[in-house]
Amino acid sequence: MLDFISDHANEIVQLTTEHMMLVGIAILGAILVGVPLGIMVYQQPRLRTVILGLVNTLQTIPSLALFAILIPLPLIGGIGARTALIAMVLYSLLPIVANTFAGLTGVNPAVREAAVAMGMTDRQLLWKVELPLALGVVFTGIRIATVMSVGLATIAAAIGAGGLGMFIFRGLAMLDTRLILAGALPAAAMALLANYGLSFIERRIGGRYAPMRQGS
Amino acid sequence: MEGMASAVEFRDVTFQHASGRTVLSGVSFTVREGESFALIGRSGSGKTTILKLINRLLDPSGGDVLVDGKSTRQWDPIRLRRRIGYVLQDIGLFPHLSIAANIGIVPTLEGWEPSRIDTRVKDVLQMVGLEPGDFMNRYPHELSGGQRQRVGVARALAADPPLLLMDEPFGALDPITRAELQQELKRLLAALNKTMVIVTHDIPEACVLGSSIGLVQEGKLVERLPPAKFLQSSHPEVQAVIRSLTIQNVIHE
């Protein structure tokens, strides 16, 4: 086993890096699209059903199928990392959009009323009060999306996006358990680390004023 | 108070919910500068709606609400609200902001210099009986209910607004803290010459803080008198409120 690791050390490092890049870029994209969408869903009740319905539907498509569906599409499709990233962003939208919406909706109405009564404009209300108070819940969505994306990125190897899935698919083809584990173990570790790391930040954000969120 | 300009005036004000339910009908009154008007009445009688019409959280369905002689419809709502201090029962302190930032919110929105905000925050904290050094850097959840209410009052006073609106500001407090805060607020009002409209369901509070007391019943202002005369009113609803008070006193003895 040690021999195997030393033989493949470079490749393990390279694929792990690729994997992290895939997840990182996809989550960044999902935040940039998902948080504004969540704010829109909150502020425009008319768009609520449409947008939430859409991101919910995306989530019901099996991930391998979503990758496959995107390949033949012009401009965004094709084999490679770009298609995989688009699929991963789409997949990550639901937790981020839904949690942004939930976080904003969950702001204590008395706090919101006080802010409006104090003469805040809609923009000030959003940036100074609603978003900071929703941040903890938004972050939960980002954490869920990240952990999900680590798993999803392993499948992305099926459409030539690289990452630790390369080991897993090769291992499956060659019936080599060590190769499968070389992909699966770092991916699992990455998911766990992302979960713990982000939960820690999440508690730092939410914990300071959590007692006030529930009560008055 | 004769000859003083009217700070708040209701002219035959009607308010209907989106559902069509009439919350207020034919409400007319004037609150002059420096006066303090206490509104009492049962839950759901429309007291809070009257407050929200003054700072334009709501617009009247009929009639006119005037602040400083100008219809609220003609006021820019942001400008109007920044010159009205508002304290609500749930206080609504911003849990993510320090006490200093909470109190300094309107001055900050108004673009005051940071050093001026800092000085003002210390001043109003002292006014409401909180030691600035002990409280400025703390967060709302670290404070007791009474302290939070004091901060709520300090926040309302921060930008030195001529008009204060209070919605059952001390409703959630124990009777002793409540009486203390009432006395302090009374002292502050007299010292700062503020106009105030306060909603309460507590007659003693209305008597302590109001230069006149108005009774709201089913969306109408049915009686408005100075405290001493109010207690002698023959209006059946006033009688009912006073009876409830007497019974409480008997039990307490």
CB contact B55 to A (< 8 Å): yes
pLDDT value of residue A6: 83
Q: In whole numbers, what is the pLDDT of chain A averaged over residues?
A: 90
pLDDT tens-digit series, residues B65-107: 999 999 999 999 999 999 999 998 877 899 999 999 999 999 9
Q: Are residues A171 and A183 in contact, defined by beta-carbon separation less than 8 angstroms? A: yes
- Contact between A208 and B105 using a beta-carbon 8 Å cutoff: no
Give residue A207's pLDDT: 59
pLDDT at A214: 38
Average pLDDT, chain B: 90
3-state helix, strand, coil in chain B (%, to 5): 40, 25, 35
Mean pLDDT of A17-37: 96
Q: List, for residues B170-228, the tens digit of each pLDDT value.
A: 877 888 888 888 998 898 888 888 999 999 988 889 999 999 999 999 999 998 999 88
CB contact under 8 A, A119 and B140: no
Q: Cα A112 to chain center, whole Å?
A: 29
How much is the average pLDDT of A11-40?
95
Residue A126 has pLDDT above 90, yes or no: yes
Q: Give residue A209's pLDDT.
A: 58
Q: Are B102 and B125 in contact (CB under 8 A)?
A: no
pLDDT beyond 70 at A212: no
Q: Can you tell me the distance from the alpha carbon of B224 to that of B214, in angstroms, rounded to the nearest whole number? A: 4
pLDDT for the residue B247: 62
Query: What pLDDT is recorded for position B3?
Result: 53
B40-52: pLDDT as tens digits: 988 888 999 999 9
pLDDT of residue A73: 84
Residue A213 — very low, low, confident or very high, per pLDDT cuts 50/70/90?
A: very low
Angle, alpha carbons B80-A106-A36 (nearest 5°): 80
Specify whether the CB–CB gap between A16 and A164 falls below 8 A.
yes
**A213 to chain B nearest CA, in Å?**
7
- Enter the tokens of residue A31: 């935040």
Does residue B95 belong to the interface with chain A, where contact is any CB pair within 8 Å? yes
**pLDDT at residue A68, as a whole number:** 86
Q: Residue A204 pLDDT > 60, yes or no?
A: yes
A22 pLDDT more than 80? yes
Percent of chain B with pLDDT over 70: 95
Q: Distance (Å) from the C-alpha of residue B252 to the closest C-alpha of chain A?
A: 29
CB contact under 8 A, B96 and A121: no
pLDDT at residue number B249? 58
Q: Average pLDDT of B2-22?
A: 87
Residues A136-190 have pLDDT tens digits of 999 999 999 999 999 999 999 988 888 999 999 999 999 999 999 999 999 999 9
Q: pLDDT above 70 covers what percent of chain A?
A: 94
Residues A38/A98, Cβ–Cβ less than 8 Å = yes
Please give the average per-residue pLDDT across B20-32, as a whole number: 93
Nearest to A216 among B91, B94, B155 (CB): B91
Indicate whether A76 pLDDT > 80: no
What ipTM was estimated for this complex?
0.87
Q: What angle do CA B164, B165, B166 make, to 5 degrees?
A: 120
**Token duo for residue B88:** 């609500």
Contact B109 A118 (CB under 8 A): yes
**What's the confidence (pLDDT) of residue B1?**
43
Position A4 confidence tier, pLDDT thresholds 50, 70, 90: confident
Measure the CA dihedral B69/B74/B75/B77, to 10°: 140
A119–B172: do the CB atoms touch at under 8 Å? no
- Between CA B45 and CA B219 the distance in angstroms is 5
Decide if B88 and A121 are in contact by the 8 Å CB cutoff. Answer: no
CB contact under 8 A, A118 and B81: yes
pTM for the whole thing?
0.84
Q: Name the closest residue on chain B to residue A136, using Cα atoms.
A: B96
3-state secondary structure (DSSP) of residue A62? coil
pLDDT (0 to 100) of residue A111: 93
Chain A residue numbers with beta carbons less than 8 Å from the beta carbon of B157 are none
Which residue blocks in chain A are alpha helix, DSSP H? Answer: 2-43, 45-60, 63-70, 81-105, 109-117, 122-124, 131-156, 165-174, 177-207, 210-214
pLDDT of residue B228: 87
Q: How confident is the model at residue B123 (pLDDT cuts 50, 70, 90)?
A: very high
